[in-house]
Structure 1
Amino acid sequence: MKHHFSPLYLLRFFLLLFSMIVFAACQKAGKADTAFYYWKQTFSLNKPQQEILEKAAGHKLYLRFFDIKWDTRSNRAYPEAVINYQQKTNTAQITPVIFITNQTFEKLSVPGVDSLALNTHKLINQLANTHNIPYQGLQFDCDWNLSTKDKYFHFLKTFKAISNKRLEATIRLHQIKYQVKTGVPPVDRGILMFYNMGKISPKPEDPNSIYNEKDADTYVSHLSKYLLPLDIALPLFSWSIHIRNGTVIQVYGKIGKSILSDQSNFQATAHKNVFKARRSFFTAGVYVKTDDLFKLEETDKNLLDQAATQLARHLSRDEKRTIIYYEIGNLDPSEFNIKDLQEISGRF
């Protein structure tokens, strides 16, 4: 039987088909790579973590080699927490990361900065050779300020000249918004740390300080104007804020939901994720006093979805970038699976 369709029907059909094609194009997964940080001193992953590293990230790992801090007694910069590499992985996909305290650049003279660059390069090469890591680039993590900007940037230029490697530097949100004032580091790429953006507050009603949309919103509109290409670091961690008499005592990554859910020690309060100590006791090496509060700030799939969606609106999908999750050494694979992480990276 031959069917006859009216011009109006055909027009509606093609409009619907066009809308479906446009919607599918908008929903297409991004082309970002997935990677992980590893920040503990001894490198060791359990089997589920190894599987996530392999299947979600193709073994792409940003490995903290060591920290550089200032020793006030000897009045010099020194390496601390040098990586103890006990477990084999795909070393071809490793990028060394070096954390440098801002105090180091406050204390160093300009000749001292040159010496630091030379000694840092020597130690990185020594570790890379010992563990057979053929690195092509490095990442430096330093929260510089106006007083240390010139010395830190001089360090980066000197290190680049010595190493002839691709360099990356971590970037905080305030350094995006005020780039004219804070300066743009002389590196090949920046790593936007999209977490720890709010004030750590003792008030139970205040929002999550790891990530919340309101705090982030004051910065993200400036992303398109930043003068470096950016990769993105997203949080996988949670922590609890220890509060006593309205004052923050400390922040603990080791006190999480499993400890705070123990009803023999803690009771829930009227505020979600805020727990009150029933008695005085020790847990995870921490002294807890009766009526102390613990404010649990968590990262979960929903929070990461929200963060990625907010960020992606202000970043070009034409640029290939890497999404680096912090960090895999303490990752609970029951909280984040391979599919979850791939979907979040796919937002970019």
Structure 2
Amino acid sequence: MLVFLLFSCSKNDEPAIAFYYWKTIFKLSETEKEILEENKVTKLYIRYFDIGLQPQTKEPIPISPIRFQGNVANFNVVPVIFIQNKVMLQSNLDVENLAKKAVQLVEEISAVNKIAFREVQIDCDWSLNSKDNYLKFVERFKKLSQKKLSATIRLHQVKYFKKTKIPNVDSGVLMYYNMGSIAPDSLNSIYDQKIAVRYLKSLKKYPLHLDFALPIYSWGVHIRNQKVIGLRSKLSFSELQKDENFVQISAFFFKVKQSNYKNGVFYEENDLLKIEAITPEDLKQMAKELGESTAQAPKEIIFYDLDEFNLKNYEKNIFEQVVSCF
């Protein structure tokens, strides 16, 4: 009964369901189409390109611009630009030129694919040392694009907003994941309620309207000699349980029985894999604690990210269950 009370939610004015699409080629699988249709999803936040640094010159360059092989005519598309923080850390950064080129590339990709868009989202985990360049970039991008602008916001930027400042955008999206450090211990770096609690009380003081992004992805933390040597995507409990090269030694850990290659990665005998994932109960708990902590109800919940591998870990109606918790 206690578990039922904790994880059951009532329906009021529920936020809309949206998804991030974070692949380099846009092409929906039948499963992905089915989920979007069943959840009446009309809005997709699509990563258009990253901005990084050219290794030799340290000049900003677009990385892996998206290519469309599927139709997006039925969706309200929000182009998302992911900017590596090291770009904004450049002391000689030509912010005006970067903003101009970013706007042009968003417009070019949209024009070629006949996408009419009303909003752009800037995704950057800016820091105290990069905030001046970042805030200037947002200002210039907004003026040049003449579009509605949103920005991703991290927990530390909410709690310390007087220091990190608030970008001049129309709204923000709180990325409610990647809370802890990636480590060989038993903690889940994607979601840790003990860490989340330290920041939740700051939400009601944050001046910018926030929607929320929740995680539906998982990964494997590859550990060798008690050191993390990499993150491995698209690994599941069930897959590893069937693989004779791995043995489950605890709730989250698998041990390599014999050296082998899996998905192009070499695993040495006695290596460890820690699977970090988000359960349906985690998602409902995240929604409840956010709903209880925010001063203004979110208009939408964006799930990261739309991928058949992620979707198969949940019941089809999990997204409706989660938004009903707000």
Q: Name the SS for the 2:293 alignment partner.
A: coil
How many Å separate the matches in 1 of 2:308 and 2:56?
33
Which of 70, 78, 83 pairs up with 2:61? 78
Contact (CA 8 Å) 2:234, 2:309: kept in 1 or not?
Answer: no
Mapping of 1:24-103 within 5 angstroms? Answer: 27-90=10-73, 92-103=75-86
Look up the match of 1:22: none
Q: Which has the larger displacement, 184-193 or 325-334?
A: 325-334
Look up the match of 1:181: 163
Q: Which has the larger displacement, 68-77 or 332-341?
A: 332-341
Which of 323, 335, 338 pairs up with 2:301? 323
Contact (CA 8 Å) 1:233, 1:325: kept in 2 or not?
Answer: yes
Q: Name the SS for the 1:328 alignment partner.
A: coil
Distance 1:296 1:247, change over 3 A: same
How many Å separate the matches in 2 of 1:255 and 1:55?
26
Which of 200, 203, 216 pairs up with 1:220? 200
Distance 1:249 1:320, change over 3 A: closer
Contact (CA 8 Å) 1:202, 1:241: kept in 2 or not?
Answer: yes
Q: Name the SS for the 1:140 alignment partner.
A: strand
Q: Name the SS for the 1:145 alignment partner.
A: coil
CA RMSD of aligned residues (A): 1.6
Look up the match of 1:305: 284
Contact (CA 8 Å) 1:37, 1:326: kept in 2 or not?
Answer: yes
How many Å separate the matches in 2 of 1:228 and 1:263?
48
- 1:169 and 2:169 equivalent? no
Task: Kindly tell me the number of residue pairs found equivalent between the two proteins.
Answer: 318
- The C-alpha deviation readout for 1:15-70, integer Å capped at 9, x for no partner, is xxxxxxxxxxx933332011000000011111111121223142310000000101
1:218 alignment partner AA: R
Structure 1 residues not aligned, in runs of 5+: 1-25
1:278 alignment partner AA: K
Q: Name the SS for the 2:311 alignment partner.
A: coil
Deviation for aligned residue 1:108: 5.5
Look up the match of 2:142: 160
1:36 alignment partner AA: F
TM-score using structure 2 length: 0.93
- 1:336 and 2:314 equivalent? yes
Which of 224, 231, 234 pairs up with 1:251? 231
- Compare CA radii of gyration and give the structure with the larger one: 1
Structure 2 residues not aligned, in runs of 5+: 1-8
Look up the match of 1:241: 221
Deviation for aligned residue 1:331: 4.2
Distance 1:312 1:306, change over 3 A: same
Higher helix share: 1
How many Å separate the matches in 1 of 2:298 and 2:227?
44
How many Å separate the matches in 2 of 1:337 and 1:263?
25
Percentage identity across paired residues of the two chains: 37
Which of 102, 120, 125 pairs up with 1:138? 120
Contact (CA 8 Å) 2:24, 2:67: kept in 1 or not?
Answer: yes
Deviation for aligned residue 1:334: 3.0
Contact (CA 8 Å) 2:17, 2:301: kept in 1 or not?
Answer: yes
Contact (CA 8 Å) 1:256, 1:296: kept in 2 or not?
Answer: yes
Distance 1:304 1:320, change over 3 A: closer
Contact (CA 8 Å) 2:291, 2:297: kept in 1 or not?
Answer: no
